[in-house]
Amino acid sequence: MAEPLSAARLLKALRAEGLTVHEVRDWRHHHRNAKGAWGPVHGVMIHHTVTRGTTGTVDLCYDGRSDLPGPLCHGVIDKKGEVHLVGNGRANHAGLGDGDVLRAVIAERPLPHDDQSDTDGNSRFYGFECVNLGDGKDPWPTAQLAAIEKVSAAICRAHGWGERSVIGHREWQPGKVDPRGFSMGGMRRRIGDRLAGRKGSGDAPPAEPEPGPTRHAPFPGADFFHAGQNDPLITAMGRRLDAEGCGRYQDGPGPHWSEADRRSYAAWQHKLGYQGRDADGVPGKASWDLLKVPRPGK
């Protein structure tokens, strides 16, 4: 159980990690505590905003909308990698999510698939919104990804948590896809490196860089995925599913198409927001392209 950081401690922790931090209006007293609990806290949740520009995004996250009052997070991370603090206390960012995921975060073990909305996340997670359209095309600058890493590490360091205490909204609430455009598994590895004192994390390239056209394997067609298929591409796919927190393997992915591959891919489809027959575990081109499976041997 962890008591939330005070405004002063949060600000100190972020600046000690080397971040440029802006204090927005009366952020230290801006919260939704009257509507529910704030704490105990167990982790950090990362979002994308589906907006352009810093000023308007910061105002939106501070004020909220007519149907969802602010603050909509605790801080906004802009494209330059600067942090704008907009709330201190309960914020409308996480909503209802999967209690099994919360228990995994508390235990700092691999995340299960988020298939329920039965637990209040606004009381349990710090939330940071990152300025990005979330369309899979809007770039994630190196400085912004480094700031996500530093923000997460700063809060984990203050609470004595490890990198598994950092999750994406898409890993918490069914149907959500944010943050879209980089791997949360890769980001957690960066946070772990920073917490362990390994050098270069903050200036590392993006956790999931946009590759050249020859880096990722093209979609081989749905008919490729059938019982009896044996191909290193299936191993590569399984490793990417594992990195996205969707792996449902007992012994790790292998080259033979299996029921574990189907379940793992279905978890990926659910994470992207697909439902019903669109989440049957058989890869389609749209979901395959978003998974960014490397060519075997690359």
Determine the pLDDT at residue 295. Answer: 83
- CATH classification of 7-203 is 3.40.80.10, yes or no? yes
281: amino acid identity, one letter: G
Q: Write down the pLDDT at residue 203.
A: 43
Provide the residue ranges of all domains of the chain, joining segments of one domain with +.
7-203, 222-291
Give the number of other Cβ atoms within 10 Å of residue 224's Cβ: 14
- Kindly report which listed range (164-178, 198-212, 282-296) carries the lowest average pLDDT score: 198-212
269/262 Cα distance (integer angstroms): 10
pLDDT of residue 224: 94
> Which pLDDT score, from 0 to 100, does residue 207 have?
43
> What's the whole-number mean pLDDT along residues 38-57?
97
What DSSP string describes the chain? --PPPPHHHHHHHHHHTT--EEE-TTGGG---GGGS------EEEEEE-S---HHHHHHHHHHEETTEESPSSSEEE-TTS-EEE--SS--TTS-EE-HHHHHHHHHT-PPPP-----EE-TTTEEEEEE----SS-S---HHHHHHHHHHHHHHHHHHT--GGGEEEGGGTSTT--PSPSS-HHHHHHHHHHHHTT-TTGGGSPPSSPPPPTTTBPPP--GGGS-TT-B-HHHHHHHHHHHHTT----SS---SB--HHHHHHHHHHHHHTT--GGGGSS---HHHHHHH-PBPTT-
Q: For residues 7 and 29, give the distance between their C-alpha atoms in angstroms, rounded to a whole number.
A: 9
pLDDT digits (tens, 9 = 90+) for 177-225: 899 999 999 999 999 999 999 754 444 444 444 333 446 889 999 999 9
End-to-end CA distance of the chain: 43
Whether pLDDT at 98 is above 90: yes
Is the pLDDT at 59 greater than 70, yes or no?
yes
pLDDT, residue 216, reads: 83
Tens digits of residue pLDDT in 132-144: 999 888 999 999 9
- What pLDDT score was predicted for residue 255? 93
